A and B are shown apart, each in its own frame.
Chain A
Amino acid sequence: MSIPLSWYLILAAALFAIGLFGVLSRRNAIAILLGVELMLNAVNINLAAFWRYLDPAQMAGQAFAVIVFAVAAAEVAVGLALIISVYRRRKTVVADEIDLMKW
Chain B
Amino acid sequence: MDLTLILFIILAVTAIATALGLLISRNAVYAALFLVMNFACVAIFYLLLGAPFIAMAQVTVYAGAIMVLFLFVIMLLGAEKLPKGDVLPVQRPLAIGAAVILLAEAVILLVQRFQSTAMLQAPGTVENSMDSLREMSGLLFTEYLLPFEVTSILLLVAMVGAIVLTKQEKGTRG
Binding site for B on A (CB under 8 A): 1-11, 13-22, 24-28, 30-31, 33-35, 37-38, 41, 44-45, 48-49, 51-54, 56, 59, 61-63, 65-67, 69-78, 80-85, 87-88, 93-94, 96
Residues of chain B within 8 A of A15, CB atoms compared? 15-16, 19, 38
Within the assembled complex, what's the spacing in Å between the Cα atoms of A70 and B147?
A: 11
Interface size of B in residues (CB-CB distance below 8 Å): 90
- The answer to whether A52 touches B20 (Cβ under 8 A) is no
Check A93–B77 contact: CB distance below 8 A.
yes
Which residues from chain A contact B20 at a C-beta distance below 8 Å?
18
Q: Determine the distance from Cα of A10 to Cα of B106 in the docked complex, in whole angstroms.
A: 7
**Shortest beta-carbon distance from A59 to chain B in Å:** 5
CB contacts (< 8 Å) of A22 on chain B: these are 22-23
How far does the alpha carbon of A98 sit from the alpha carbon of B154 in the complex, in Å? 27
Q: Is the CB of A52 within 8 A of B49?
A: yes
Q: Which residues of B contact A52 (CB under 8 A)?
A: 49-51, 122, 126
Q: How far is the CA of A41 from the CA of B98 in the complex (A)?
A: 19
Once bound together, how far apart are the Cα atoms of A12 and B22, in whole Å?
16
B77 in complex: contacting residue of A62, A66, A83, CB < 8 Å:
A83
27 contacts between A and B (CB under 8 A): A1-B2, A2-B4, A4-B119, A14-B19, A16-B102, A16-B106, A21-B98, A22-B23, A31-B31, A41-B39, A45-B42, A45-B45, A52-B122, A59-B139, A61-B51, A63-B140, A66-B140, A67-B144, A67-B147, A69-B62, A70-B154, A73-B61, A73-B158, A75-B158, A81-B163, A84-B165, A85-B166
Tell me if B171 counts as interface (CB < 8 A to partner A). Answer: no
Chain A proximity of B25: nearest CB distance (Å): 9
- Bound together, the chains give a CA A88 to CA B174 distance in angstroms of 6
Per the bound structure, the CA–CA distance linking A26 and B85 in Å amounts to 11
Query: Is there an interface contact between A72 and B66, defined as CB atoms closer than 8 Å?
Result: yes
Q: Contacts A28-B28, A38-B35 given: A74-B158 contact, CB under 8 Å?
A: yes
Which of these, B15, B32, B46, B95, contacts A24 with CB under 8 Å?
A: B95
From A2, A45, A78, A93, give the contact of B161 (CB < 8 A): A78
List the 10 closest A-B pairs by CB distance, nearest first: A6-B118, A74-B158, A24-B95, A13-B106, A21-B99, A81-B162, A25-B95, A17-B103, A81-B165, A17-B99
Cβ-defined contact, A4 with B121, below 8 A: yes
